[in-house]
Amino acid sequence: MRKVPRKPIDVEKIRKDFPIFNQKIKGMPYIYLDNAATSQRPNQVIKAMNDYYQMYNATIHRALYELGEKATDAYEESREKVAKFINASPEEVIFVRNTTEAINLVAYSWGRSNIKEGDKILLTVMEHHSNIIPWQLLAKEKKAHLEFIDIYDNGLLKMDEFEKFIGEGIRFMSLVHVSNVLGTVNPVKKMVDYAHKNGVLVLIDAAQSAPHMPVDVHDIGCDFLAFSGHKMLGPTGIGVLYGKRELLENMGPFLGGGDMIKEVHLREASWNEIPWKFEAGTPNIAGAIGLGAAVDYLNNIGMENVKEHEKELTKYALDKMMRIKGINIYGTKNVELRGGVISFNLGDMHPHDLASILDNEGISIRAGHHCAQPLMDRLGVVGTARASFYIYNTEWEIDYLVNSLEKVREVFKV
Ligand SMILES: Cc1ncc(COP(=O)(O)O)c(C=O)c1O
């Protein structure tokens, strides 16, 4: 991928684009540190969606009038923008609701016709539930087996286990690019390469990577890749499944209905071309248009700059947080190997209590199992608190978080 020169992000300018930061919460500028759950949206995304609803609202693909054509063009232009964003072809980009639906689509359409009794599917212990449950359902139905790559205590994957599993007849692998709990950035390019040499297809869950760093599907070499619009400044209800053209062409449909067909008779039908074969029914037109605007916004900043900004914030936060007495921070401390997600516990305080106290200080963080209960089991905790960063976060906000944590520690005698 072309190396783009780094320029610092103008956070103050960026924050002005986000109306949510114009208000005070608990009398304070709003400190939003739950970006791994969902991001905020800039005016540009909100306006793109409003423009659709106010000026050219119509259904797409079959409307033979001006506004219908305009809506179709905007929807398909967004697909082109998303395709370019991940270095794919537009036919390989399927609009779905979110990462969860993208993974279910593959487990259903590819999995049900390719996984057979006794086959093994390889996952990792750091997966989000959305990359576990679809495979559990498939494995149960097909009498297949799930295998899991473990982690070291520093949150990195055990690569020797990965190689051992691949050598033992794995049929398919699905793994997260960046962990939503540990922040670990998995070496997906290397892993895909090794898997392919052994005939194993790979799906990458890019829910926490596509919003935060350059993601190039050709460079990674993966067969499928999934991500959600709402975690990357876009609206909720729109997400993306990338699939290699030849795989998508050979897969059966996921949902049946309008738009995904070529010809329908009473007792049989034929399917539309990709990507529409996988987009049954009236799609989330406004959502796709909003996602296109989000991609424009991120491209204006530059994904390399987004990544560097978060790396600097993460380093700053780790340096300060590690000095808090009684804190336990999960995952590697090497910012080259982790994204802008910091999970922690303070003494034996329940993370929910911690999050509620911080909420009183005007700080939104996440607490709980983060839809990764098997990882919580592996870490031996019921849950963690989690701060996660994005383009509009600042060092001042991290200082405020750290001061608040120090106050909590003193009051609760941690
Ligand atoms: C790593 C990872 N995968 C998948 C998901 C599921 O995303 P969605 O709920 O948008 O489908 C999330 C959401 O937090 C995530 O962090």
Spatial separation of the C-alpha atoms in residues 49 and 45, rounded to whole Å: 6
Same domain? For 22 and 62 the reply is no
Same domain? For 34 and 71 the reply is no
From the CA of 37, give the closest atom in ligand 1. Answer: 14
pLDDT at 6: 66
In a domain, 123, yes or no: yes
From 277, 299, 321, the end of a domain falls on: 299
Same domain? For 287 and 306 the reply is no
In a domain, 278, yes or no: yes
Give residue-wise pLDDT tens across range 53-98.
999 999 999 878 999 999 999 999 999 999 999 999 999 999 999 9
Same domain? For 177 and 307 the reply is no
Give residue-wise pLDDT tens across range 294-316.
999 999 999 999 999 999 999 99
In a domain, 237, yes or no: yes
Same domain? For 168 and 196 the reply is yes
From 266, 299, 332, the end of a domain falls on: 299
Q: Which of 412, 386, 400 is nearest to 328 (CA)?
A: 386
Mean pLDDT of 3-25: 87
In a domain, 2, yes or no: no
Same domain? For 163 and 223 the reply is yes
What CATH code is carried by the domain that includes residue 203? Answer: 3.40.640.10
Pocket mutation for ligand 1, best pick of 371, 373, 390 (most atoms within 8 Å of C-beta): 371
Same domain? For 284 and 375 the reply is no
Residue 367's beta-bridge partner residues? 385
In a domain, 233, yes or no: yes
Expressed as residue numbers, the domain containing 383 is: 11-38+302-411
In a domain, 5, yes or no: no
What CATH code is carried by the domain that includes residue 360? Answer: 3.90.1150.10
Same domain? For 273 and 309 the reply is no
pLDDT at 392: 98
With a 6 Å cutoff on the Cβ, whether 388 touches ligand 1 is no
Pocket mutation for ligand 1, best pick of 38, 130, 205, 238 (most atoms within 8 Å of C-beta): 130
Same domain? For 121 and 206 the reply is yes
From the CA of 371, give the closest atom in ligand 1. Answer: 14
Same domain? For 122 and 174 the reply is yes
Q: Whose CA is nearest to atom 15 of ligand 1?
A: 207
Give residue-wise pLDDT tens across range 152-208.
999 999 999 999 999 998 999 999 999 999 999 999 999 999 999 999 999 999 999
From the CA of 239, give the closest atom in ligand 1. Answer: 10
Q: Examine the pLDDT at 2 and tell me if it is beyond 60.
A: no
From 274, 299, 324, the end of a domain falls on: 299
Same domain? For 292 and 309 the reply is no
Spatial separation of the C-alpha atoms in residues 395 and 403, rounded to whole Å: 12
- Count structural domains, the chain: 2
**266 class by beta-carbon count within 10 Å (0-12 exposed, 13-18 middle, 19+ buried):** exposed
Same domain? For 263 and 169 the reply is yes
Give residue-wise pLDDT tens across range 205-233.
999 999 999 999 999 999 999 999 999 99
| N residues, the chain | 414
In a domain, 1, yes or no: no
Q: Which of 138, 161, 165 is nearest to 150 (CA)?
A: 161
